[in-house]
Structures are given as C-alpha cells and as structure tokens.
C-alpha cells in the first residue's frame, strides 16, 4: 500500500451518486453476467428428463435395488416419478382429484408396484410417461393454471418444478450409488432459481414466519441472480437481511437435500431473520 | 430497505478468498456467525447483479481509484471521469477481475492509472492534430519576423517529411501540392490511371500525417 493509498484524497461531493447511476444505466440491478441463454420451461423439463434418463442408463441390474429415499429403492423412486407424471397428465386433463392429492401418498402405490419387475420395464414406463408429458404440453398454454399435489401454478412454472424434482432425484440416485453430483445447465438453473426466489414469500408464510423481513437474495455463479422481496408479513418497518450463497447450493437447500449449515453463506443483517428465511426455503421441497 | 454490510474485507490475501464464512447451526433455532465478504465474494455478487456490492466496492475503494487517476492527470474533473469509467467497467464486466490474480484494490487502481494515461495520450494526440492543422493551414501574409520564421519552419518540416515518402508517392504529392496539378493531370503526367493516382495520394497523405504527428508529439 503506497503513502497515497494510506491517505487517499477526499472524493468530490456527488461523485458517488453519479458513478452508481451511470453503472446502473449500463446494466440493470439483478441481471447476472454472463446471463444464461433463455430457454422455455418445456425445454428445461426436457433437459432434466434427458439427464435423469442418462443416469438410469448407467445403472447396473443390482443398482436398482439400492435404498435411496424414504422406504424406496432406486426402482421404487423411479416408480414414484411414473406416478407423478401420471398425476400431471390427469391435472392437465382437469381432473380435480389430483389438485389436493399428496405428492408422496398419491404416488406410493405406483412406487411400490415396481418391486420385482425387470428394471428395464420400470425405466421404459417412466420414459413413456415423460414423453407423454412433453407431448401434452407441446401445444398447451404455458400461462394456464394447473392444480396438482396442493400447488396451483401456471403450467410453465409447474414444468420448472418438475425439472427441479427430476434433478433432485437424479442426484438422490447419484448419491446412493456413490457417483458425483450433477449440476443443471445454467439456463435450466436460472429458471429454477427464479422460481425458488418467487415462491420464497409463500414458503415463509407457510412456515409461519411472522416478523416481516426485507430480503435481498443473491445467488452467485452460473444460473444465479439477485432478488429483493419482503417475506413474513406487512409491518411498516421490517427487518432487513441480505443472504449471499451459490445458486446450486441454494437449490439443494430448496430441495431439502442440505441444511443451511451445508451452504457457503454470507449474511448481513439480523442472523435470526436469515435463519428463518433459509429454513422457510427448505419447506419448498416436494420430496 | 437492506442493511449495509458492516464488514467488507477487500484486501484479503488470495489464500483467504474462498467463499466461506457464515455458518448456520443445523439443529433447532439456527444462528448465524462468521466473517465479512472477500474480494472473491464481492466479485461473485457483482456478477449476480447485486448493486449493494457495487456500492460497497465504491465506498471502500473509490478514494484510491480517484487518487490514482488524479496523480496522472492532475485535474479533478478528468479524474472523476476516470473513476466513473472504472466503476462502470467493474459493474458491466465483473468477470474481467480475477480474484486469484490480486486484490480488487490493485485491479481498480491499475485500471484507473491505465485509463488516465490513455486520456493523457489521447489529449496529446488531439493537441498535436490541432497544432498540425494550424501549421498546415495557409497563413495570411506574414507581417512580422516571427511569422516568417514559423512559416519557414513549417515548410521545412513538411518538405522533410515528403522526402521520406517512397518515390512513387513523393512524385504525386509534389505534382499535386507543390505544382498545383489536379488528380487527373497528375495521372496524365505520370502515366498512370487516375484511380491509382488517387490511391497513391491517399496513402502518401496518411503517411505524412503520421510522420508529422510524431514530430509534433516529440516536440511537445
């Protein structure tokens, strides 16, 4: 550090405002650089399904019996996903019974039915179900509301939820078999982080976060971005907290696959508020 | 409204720049503890579009950036322009800063110095162009001894520069400018197409401009 650095000149008044304003004219707040190429929700689902299928192709005959989630082995987990696709097809058809059906309860029978079947048959059934989803949504309106498993979301958002779930379960399988974890491509990840950030206020309400908090959520790395939101109420002077973590880690938290302790976090503001917000984020998981 | 971070560690050594810090307890009511941001975290936040990170970087480093520019330029207004350029650059292209290569303070002050030196060079070029244009503009009839000397000096500079041109270019310049021929007449006199005469003249003028610029810059 030079003498000039130790005793730097006083900045002219107004320079700070001028520089910050010029910077924001060059690039808007919240827009990441480099920005991931935009893709549709259908494309995100297609990519997640392709990655999931690729993981299934790598499984040996015995791997399918590896315990992976709840009381399910990998074959049962794929059966669960067949059940989810079937429920989605019914929801797209306007079947009211799937609107409030439980995500796990509604699919458990299909999951358990896989026991004893040849794994290739389970995989073929799942592939058929995923392809049927793609056929059904091809000509559908992505803004149309669809209700299933207690969620009511535009179809586009629901497909991102589905991509999120496929990535989560693909990584369940990877973990169970000792493979390295996978990371979604930046375009898919950006849709996932956007959706998670948008749903965070609802998650906070559901988690019973009473004290209102102004949250700045900064997700770093490819697929990240910056979001401002108020969660947990409507008081005139809410607390403020800034949470910085990496985009993939945050998605794993949202999927309830890691706890906040597993994240690389930088928090400013009230630590208790940050902890509440992060705990709320993990309640978005479907499982 | 978002709180301004209380701790920003902008000069952390490279080994301490891994993204780490606050940890949440995993069970029960979580608590947050830890240290402030590092240059790598700040860079990642800038890339994510967090303008608070830009404000933090400005508050911590703008004085040094301003001082760096001011030392080169010696002019408050021009130094402020450099500060603006540097921070707009940081915000627009945060990926150009590599935390493994050095601190953000070093990156920004070096960038400011380069911008300031560029500004000085560009100003010198502008002044030199003005000077040359002034010297090459036909002067009104000389009134005093000083004017006569200046005109003679300019003419001598130009003739010396013309002498350094390749023969084919020198010939067309002499015919066009010292003997007052048009392009068509030059082409006819040399026995080349008119288009060739024009392009030789263009090339010659570009070279003369460069040579005279250099001489004027050296004498500045």
Kind of pairing, strands A213-220 and A239-246?
A: parallel
Q: Do B59 and A261 touch (CB under 8 A)?
A: no
pLDDT, tens digit, 9 for 90 and up, residues A102-148: 899 999 999 999 899 999 999 999 999 999 999 999 988 899 999 99
The pTM is what? 0.74
CB atoms under 10 Å from CB of A116, counted, come to 6
Q: Evaluate if residue B140 carries a pLDDT over 70.
A: no
Q: What confidence score (pLDDT) does residue B145 get? A: 58
pLDDT, mean of residues A168-187: 96
pLDDT, mean of residues A20-40: 95
8 Å CB contact between B56 and B4? yes
Q: What confidence score (pLDDT) does residue B151 get? A: 53
- H/E element holding A153? strand A151-154
B33: contact with A, CB 8 A cutoff = yes
Q: Evaluate if residue B125 carries a pLDDT over 80.
A: yes
User: Which residues of chain A does B29 touch, with a Cβ-Cβ cutoff of 8 Å?
Assistant: 272, 275
Q: What confidence score (pLDDT) does residue A36 get? A: 94
- Return phi, psi of residue A184, to 5°: -60, 155
* Greater model confidence, A262 or B124: A262
A35: contact with B, CB 8 A cutoff = no
What's the topology of domain A41-182? 1.20.120
Chain B residue with minimum CA distance to A223: B48
Closest listed residue to residue A11, CA positions, set B98, B51, B52, B64? B64
- Return phi, psi of residue A103, to 5°: -65, -40
pLDDT, tens digit, 9 for 90 and up, residues A138-160: 988 899 999 999 889 999 999 99
CA angle A89, A197, A78 (to 5 degrees): 35
Query: Which residue in A9, A18, A248 has the most chain B C-beta atoms within 10 A of its own C-beta, making it the best mutation to test that interface?
Result: A9
8 Å CB contact between B124 and B217? yes
Q: What confidence score (pLDDT) does residue A54 get? A: 95
Chain B residue with minimum CA distance to A30: B49
Task: Calculate what percentage of chain A has a pLDDT beyond 70.
Answer: 97
Kind of pairing, strands A67-69 and A151-154?
A: unpaired
pLDDT confidence band for B214 (50 / 70 / 90): low
Domains, chain B, with CATH or none: 14-19+31-124 (1.10.1740.10), 138-219 (1.10.10.10)
B25: contact with A, CB 8 A cutoff = yes
Q: What confidence score (pLDDT) does residue B54 get? A: 97
* Greater model confidence, B216 or B18: B216
From start to end of chain B, where are the E strands?
23-24, 32-33
Q: Evaluate if residue B35 carries a pLDDT over 60.
A: no
Query: Which residue in A23, A217, A225, A243 has the most chain B C-beta atoms within 10 A of its own C-beta, making it the best mutation to test that interface?
Result: A23
- Which neighbouring-strand residues pair with A229? A215
Q: To 10 degrees, what angle do helices B194-219 and B104-136 make? A: 120
Tokens of B7: 């701790």
Q: What confidence score (pLDDT) does residue B216 get? A: 56
8 Å CB contact between B38 and B56? no
Which residues have a Cβ under 8 Å from the Cβ of A183 and sit 6 or more positions away?
A: A189, A248
pLDDT confidence band for B16 (50 / 70 / 90): very low
pLDDT, tens digit, 9 for 90 and up, residues B49-93: 999 999 999 999 999 999 999 999 999 999 999 999 999 999 999
Q: Evaluate if residue B191 carries a pLDDT over 70.
A: yes
Q: 3-class DSSP state for residue B75?
A: coil
Which residues have a Cβ under 8 Å from the Cβ of A234 and sit 6 or more positions away?
A: A212
B94: contact with A, CB 8 A cutoff = yes
Residue A92 is given by DSSP the state H
Tokens of B69: 């520019």
The interface residues of chain B toward chain A in range 162-181, judged by CB-CB distance below 8 A, are none
The interface residues of chain B toward chain A in range 105-144, judged by CB-CB distance below 8 A, are 105, 109
Q: Evaluate if residue B146 carries a pLDDT over 70.
A: no
Dihedral sign (CA A110, A115, A116, A117): positive
Q: What confidence score (pLDDT) does residue A273 get? A: 87
Closest listed residue to residue A54, CA positions, set A222, A150, A182, A213? A182
pLDDT, tens digit, 9 for 90 and up, residues A178-219: 999 999 999 999 999 999 999 999 888 888 877 788 999 999
User: Which residues of chain A does B50 touch, with a Cβ-Cβ cutoff of 8 Å?
Assistant: 29, 216, 218, 226, 244
8 Å CB contact between B39 and B103? yes
A260: contact with B, CB 8 A cutoff = yes
* C-alpha pair distances (Å), A19 with each of B87, B107, B121: 7, 18, 24
Q: Evaluate if residue B143 carries a pLDDT over 70.
A: no
- Which neighbouring-strand residues pair with A24? none
Q: Evaluate if residue B11 carries a pLDDT over 50.
A: no
- H/E element holding A74? helix A74-92
The stretches of chain B forming alpha helices (DSSP H) are 39-47, 51-73, 76-92, 104-136, 145-163, 167-173, 183-190, 194-219
Mean residue pLDDT of chain A comes to: 92
pLDDT, mean of residues B18-29: 25
A30: contact with B, CB 8 A cutoff = yes
Tokens of B198: 């024009």
Q: What confidence score (pLDDT) does residue B25 get? A: 24
Highest mean pLDDT among A141-145, A160-164, B14-18 belongs to A160-164
Highest mean pLDDT among A124-133, A264-273, B163-172 belongs to A124-133
Q: What confidence score (pLDDT) does residue B197 get? A: 83
- H/E element holding A53? helix A41-57
CA–CA distance, A38 with A137 (Å, rounded to integer): 18
Q: Which of B29, B66, B90 lies closest to A275 in CB terms?
A: B29
Q: Evaluate if residue B101 carries a pLDDT over 60.
A: yes
Closest listed residue to residue B51, CA positions, set B17, B14, B94? B94
CB atoms under 10 Å from CB of A125, counted, come to 20
Q: What confidence score (pLDDT) does residue B15 get? A: 26
Pinpoint the residues of chain A covered by CATH 1.20.120.450. Answer: 41-182
pLDDT, mean of residues A225-246: 86
8 Å CB contact between B173 and B189? no
Q: Which of A29, A221, A265 lies closest to B44 in CB terms?
A: A221
- H/E element holding B109? helix B104-136
* Chain B nearest C-alpha distance from A215 (Å): 7
Dihedral sign (CA A27, A31, A32, A35): negative
Q: Do A266 and B109 touch (CB under 8 A)?
A: no
What's the topology of domain A187-284? Nonspecific Lipid-transfer Protein; Chain A (3.30.1050)
B51: contact with A, CB 8 A cutoff = yes
Q: What confidence score (pLDDT) does residue B142 get? A: 53
pLDDT confidence band for B187 (50 / 70 / 90): confident
Q: Evaluate if residue A19 carries a pLDDT over 50.
A: yes
Query: Which residue in A7, A13, A19 has the most chain B C-beta atoms within 10 A of its own C-beta, making it the best mutation to test that interface?
Result: A19
Pinpoint the residues of chain A covered by CATH 3.30.1050. Answer: 187-284
CA angle A165, A169, A170 (to 5 degrees): 115
Q: What confidence score (pLDDT) does residue B32 get? A: 31
Q: What confidence score (pLDDT) does residue B14 get? A: 27
Q: Evaluate if residue B217 carries a pLDDT over 80.
A: no
């Amino acid at each position: 550090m030079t003498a000039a650095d130790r005793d730097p000149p006083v900045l002219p008044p107004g320079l700070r405002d001028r520089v910050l304003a010029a910077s924001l004219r060059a690039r808007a707040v919240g827009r990441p650089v480099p920005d991931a190429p935009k893709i549709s929700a259908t494309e995100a689902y297609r990519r997640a399904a392709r990655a999931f299928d690729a993981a299934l192709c790598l499984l040996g005959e015995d791997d399918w019996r590896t315990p992976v989630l709840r009381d399910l082995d990998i074959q049962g987990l794929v059966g669960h996903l067949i059940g989810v696709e079937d429920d989605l097809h019914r929801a797209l058809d306007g079947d009211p019974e799937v609107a409030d059906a439980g995500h796990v309860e509604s699919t458990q029978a299909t999951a358990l039915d896989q026991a004893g079947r040849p794994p290739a048959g389970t995989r073929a059934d799942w592939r058929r179900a995923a392809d049927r989803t793609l056929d059904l949504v091809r000509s559908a309106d992505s803004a149309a509301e669809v209700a299933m498993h207690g969620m009511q979301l535009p179809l586009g958002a629901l497909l991102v939820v589905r991509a999120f779930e496929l990535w989560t379960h693909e990584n369940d399988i990877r973990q169970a078999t000792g493979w390295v974890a996978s990371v979604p491509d930046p375009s898919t990840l950006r849709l996932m982080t956007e959706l998670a950030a948008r749903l965070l206020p609802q998650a906070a309400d559901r988690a019973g976060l009473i004290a209102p908090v102004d949250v700045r959520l900064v997700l770093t790395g490819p697929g990240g971005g910056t979001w401002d939101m108020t969660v947990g109420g409507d008081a005139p002077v809410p607390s403020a907290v800034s949470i910085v973590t990496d985009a993939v880690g945050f998605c794993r938290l949202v999927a309830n696959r890691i706890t906040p302790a597993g994240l690389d976090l930088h928090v400013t503001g009230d630590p208790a508020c940050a902890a509440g917000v992060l705990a709320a984020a993990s309640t978005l998981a479907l499982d | 409204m978002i709180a301004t971070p209380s701790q920003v560690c902008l000069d952390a050594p490279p080994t301490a720049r891994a993204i780490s810090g606050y940890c949440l307890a995993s069970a029960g009511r979580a608590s947050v503890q830890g240290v402030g941001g590092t240059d790598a975290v700040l860079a990642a936040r800038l890339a994510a579009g967090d303008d608070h990170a830009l404000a933090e970087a400005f508050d911590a480093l703008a004085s040094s950036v301003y001082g760096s520019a001011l030392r080169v330029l010696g002019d408050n207004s021009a130094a402020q322009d450099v500060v603006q350029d540097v921070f707009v650059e940081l915000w627009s292209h945060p990926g150009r800063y590599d935390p493994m290569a050095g601190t953000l303070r070093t990156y920004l002050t070096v960038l400011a110095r380069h911008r300031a030196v560029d500004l000085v060079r560009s100003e010198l070029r502008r002044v030199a162009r003005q000077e040359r244009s002034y010297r090459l503009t036909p002067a009104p009839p000389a009134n005093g001894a000083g004017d006569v000397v200046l005109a003679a000096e300019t003419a001598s500079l130009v003739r010396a520069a013309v002498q350094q041109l390749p023969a084919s270019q020198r010939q067309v310049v002499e015919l066009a400018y010292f003997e007052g021929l048009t392009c068509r007449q030059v082409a006819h006199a040399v026995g080349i197409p008119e288009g060739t005469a024009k392009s030789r003249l263009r090339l010659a003028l570009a070279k003369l401009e460069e040579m005279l610029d250099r001489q004027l810059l050296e004498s500045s």
